[in-house]
Amino acid sequence: MKEIDKYDYALLNDDLQEAITKMAGIVSAEQCRVERQDKKLKILK
């Protein structure tokens, strides 16, 4: 926990189903980042 400020996300695993749902949300959000879609977005410009 001393290094927690170096990370973008904190995922606590005290409720497995909730942790799975949150992880899926994090993965989805990361896939939507502009820098990850740069090639696709250039086509639209």
For 37, the domain range is 4-44
pLDDT of residue 14: 93
Domains of the chain: total: 1
What is the C-alpha R_g of the chain? 15
Quick check: helix, strand or coil at residue 4?
Answer: helix
- Side-chain-side CA neighbours of 12 within 13 Å: the count stands at 3
pLDDT at 24: 97
Helix (H, G, I), strand (E, B) or coil at 38: helix
What's the pLDDT at 41? Answer: 74
| DSSP structure class, residue 3 | T
* pLDDT in the model for residue 7: 93
**Each residue's pLDDT tens digit, 1-45:** 899 999 999 998 899 999 999 999 999 999 888 877 877 777 776
What is the distance between the alpha carbons of residues 40 and 8, in angstroms, rounded to a whole number? 25
Tokens of 19: 């942790």
The pLDDT, as a whole number, for residue 27 is 96
pLDDT attached to residue 15: 95
